[in-house]
Amino acid sequence: MTSRPQIPFNLPTRAATELAYVAQAFESGHTSASGEFARRAAQIIADDTGAAEVLMTTSCTSALELSGMLMDFQPGETVIVPSFTFSASALAFAREGARLIFCDIEPETLGLDPNHVAELLDDSVRAVVPVHYAGIGARMEALDEVLARRPDVAVIEDNAHGLFGTLNGRPLGGLGALATQSFHETKNFSCGEGGALVINDESYLDRARVLYDKGTNRRAFFLGQVDKYSWRDTGSSFGLSDLLAAGLTAQLEERKAIQGRRQEIFEQYAALLGPPADELGFTIPVVPAGREPAWHMFYLLLPDNPTRDRLLAELRENGIQATFHYVPLHSSKGGHRFAARETDCPVSTDVSGRLIRLPFHNHLSDGDVDRVADTVLEVLR
Ligand SMILES: *Cc1c(COP(=O)(O)O)cnc(C)c1O
């Protein structure tokens, strides 16, 4: 075994003012949801996405659940979700009573394939959930065309990877009627567990505020719109504690530096691994025209599954924690259980078997990135 230090796959982002902000939240006495730091974090996200309002939540999963509640699904209604995504993108809607239609991804961005959406779209569909995989904008231009004649179908962006990325100059997270963010330990900005619901379509605003606040119109009360508040509707306790929002606010305020460093790491990997890729039979992420990525990850697509697994094993032996990604949902146990019908997602299956994610986080040094890239090339040669 090697005596060289381990290179972890992920280490949470930290900001210089993080601990001071957390202490300030403690001392303020307001440690529950809807505090001053939650307001500041939400404002930064709203300013970037152009949202009507941003509600800070306990996770991206809970923000997806909140958006599912807003859909008010009737029996037989469905949601189109990519097969190549995290369980939560689908689970949240299944939990709110929708059946799922699993859609394939397209091979360049690894985002939802608009042609497959067009094939799958029927009268049962109430929402479509694009994911901007790796923080690279999905084919939203084509998706908008497919959905142009279906104003009854809501686009809910699962933007867990995409905050501060853009597509044709428009912010990821600002493209759907609703969008959801994740501040889980593994994301670009993190407070352990956290998330946000980005409300772009104002028609959801009033009800979203009620569902967010345990089914009460407490928010309207604080906005001076009513003189007392009471129970109105379904909902849950979705709010992010201000202790967590404090650390997150510190990171969001340093977004330029954090995203800048991630871009450098991405570009260093691309410069080292791009040129020999063709000859060795693998590919690096494609950034189609008009996209500024959110620099969430760096992945490789190997020629076949055995090569991927061998590379994973050999990187681990060399102290480098690379990893695979999603097992396609359409072929999972939960997917079978909640699917409206069986669908074919061959690209998802193929990509899942060939994809490897390299270490990617703000604590990597240039030397670490060199070492990872060198080891990848040694193994493949
Ligand atoms: C991380 C992630 C989620 C879940 O985020 P949580 O904040 O952990 O609930 C959902 N969707 C995608 C695409 C993710 O990467």
Q: In what order do the strands lie in the sheet with 166-167?
A: 170-171, 166-167, 291-292
Tokens in use for 137?
A: 């904008």
- Separation between Cα atoms, residue 289 and residue 295, nearest integer Å: 16
Percent of the chain exceeding pLDDT 90 equals 98
User: In this model, does residue 214 exceed pLDDT 60?
Assistant: yes
Angle between helices 205-212 and 60-71 (to 10 degrees): 130
Query: Is the Cβ–Cβ distance between 333 and 319 less than 8 Å?
Result: no
> Pick from 163, 165, 160: which is nearest to 185 by CA?
160
Any atom of ligand 1 within 6 Å of the Cβ of 130: no
Any atom of ligand 1 within 6 Å of the Cβ of 60: yes
Q: What is the pLDDT of residues 117-133, one digit of tens each?
A: 999 999 999 999 999 99
> DSSP code of 329?
G
User: In this model, does residue 3 exceed pLDDT 80?
Assistant: no
- Separation between Cα atoms, residue 129 and residue 144, nearest integer Å: 12
Any atom of ligand 1 within 6 Å of the Cβ of 252: no
Any atom of ligand 1 within 6 Å of the Cβ of 326: no
- Separation between Cα atoms, residue 373 and residue 353, nearest integer Å: 21
Give the helix ranges, DSSP H, for the chain.
18-28, 36-49, 60-71, 87-95, 114-120, 140-147, 205-212, 218-222, 242-253, 255-280, 305-317, 333-338, 346-354, 366-380
Any atom of ligand 1 within 6 Å of the Cβ of 212: no
Average pLDDT on 159-180 reads 98
- Cα separations in angstroms, 32 against 197, 240, 246, 348, 363: 18, 7, 11, 40, 31
- 3-state DSSP call for residue 219? helix
- Cα separations in angstroms, 209 against 89, 236, 238: 21, 11, 10
> DSSP code of 96?
T
Residue 351: CB partners within 8 Å, gap ≥ 6?
84, 105, 107, 110, 301
Handedness of CA 199, 204, 209, 212 (dihedral sign): negative
- Separation between Cα atoms, residue 168 and residue 288, nearest integer Å: 10
Residue having the nearest C-alpha atom to atom 2 of ligand 1: 160
User: In this model, does residue 363 exceed pLDDT 90?
Assistant: yes
- 3-state DSSP call for residue 135? helix
CA of residue 181 to ligand 1 center, whole Å:
8
Query: Is the Cβ–Cβ distance between 366 and 265 less than 8 Å?
Result: no
> In a 10 Å sphere around its CB, with 0-12 CB exposed, 13-18 middle and 19+ buried, how is residue 86 labelled?
buried
Tokens in use for 123?
A: 């009268």
Residue among 59, 60, 87 whose CB has most ligand 1 atoms within 8 A, to mutate: 60
Question: What's the angle, vertex CA 258, arms to CA 129 and CA 184, rounded to 5?
Answer: 45
Q: Cα 114 vs. chain centroid, distance in angstroms?
A: 19
Name residue 95's amino acid: R
Average pLDDT on 41-65 reads 98
Any atom of ligand 1 within 6 Å of the Cβ of 89: yes
Question: Residues 282-292, buried b or exposed e (16+ Cβ, 10 A)?
Answer: bbbbebeeebb
CB atoms within 10 A of CB 204: 21
Residue 227: CB partners within 8 Å, gap ≥ 6?
221
Q: What is the pLDDT of residues 196-212, one digit of tens each?
A: 999 999 999 999 999 99
User: In this model, does residue 1 exceed pLDDT 70?
Assistant: no
Q: What does the pLDDT read at residue 323?
A: 97
Any atom of ligand 1 within 6 Å of the Cβ of 85: yes
Q: What are the backbone dihedrals phi and psi of residue 196, each rounded to the nearest 5 degrees, phi first?
A: -155, 145
- Give the chain's mean pLDDT: 97
Q: What does the pLDDT read at residue 135?
A: 98
Kindly indicate the confidence band of residue 139, based on its pLDDT and cuts at 50, 70 and 90: very high
Q: For tokens 């020629």, what's the residue?
A: 303
Any atom of ligand 1 within 6 Å of the Cβ of 182: yes
Task: Tell which atom from ligand 1 comes closest to the C-alpha of 133.
Answer: 13
Residue among 184, 357, 360 whose CB has most ligand 1 atoms within 8 A, to mutate: 184
Q: Cα 322 vs. chain centroid, distance in angstroms?
A: 19
Angle between helices 305-317 and 346-354 (to 10 degrees): 30
CB atoms within 10 A of CB 42: 23
Handedness of CA 336, 339, 342, 344 (dihedral sign): negative
> What does pTM read for this prediction?
0.97
Q: What is the pLDDT of residues 322-336, one digit of tens each?
A: 999 999 999 999 999
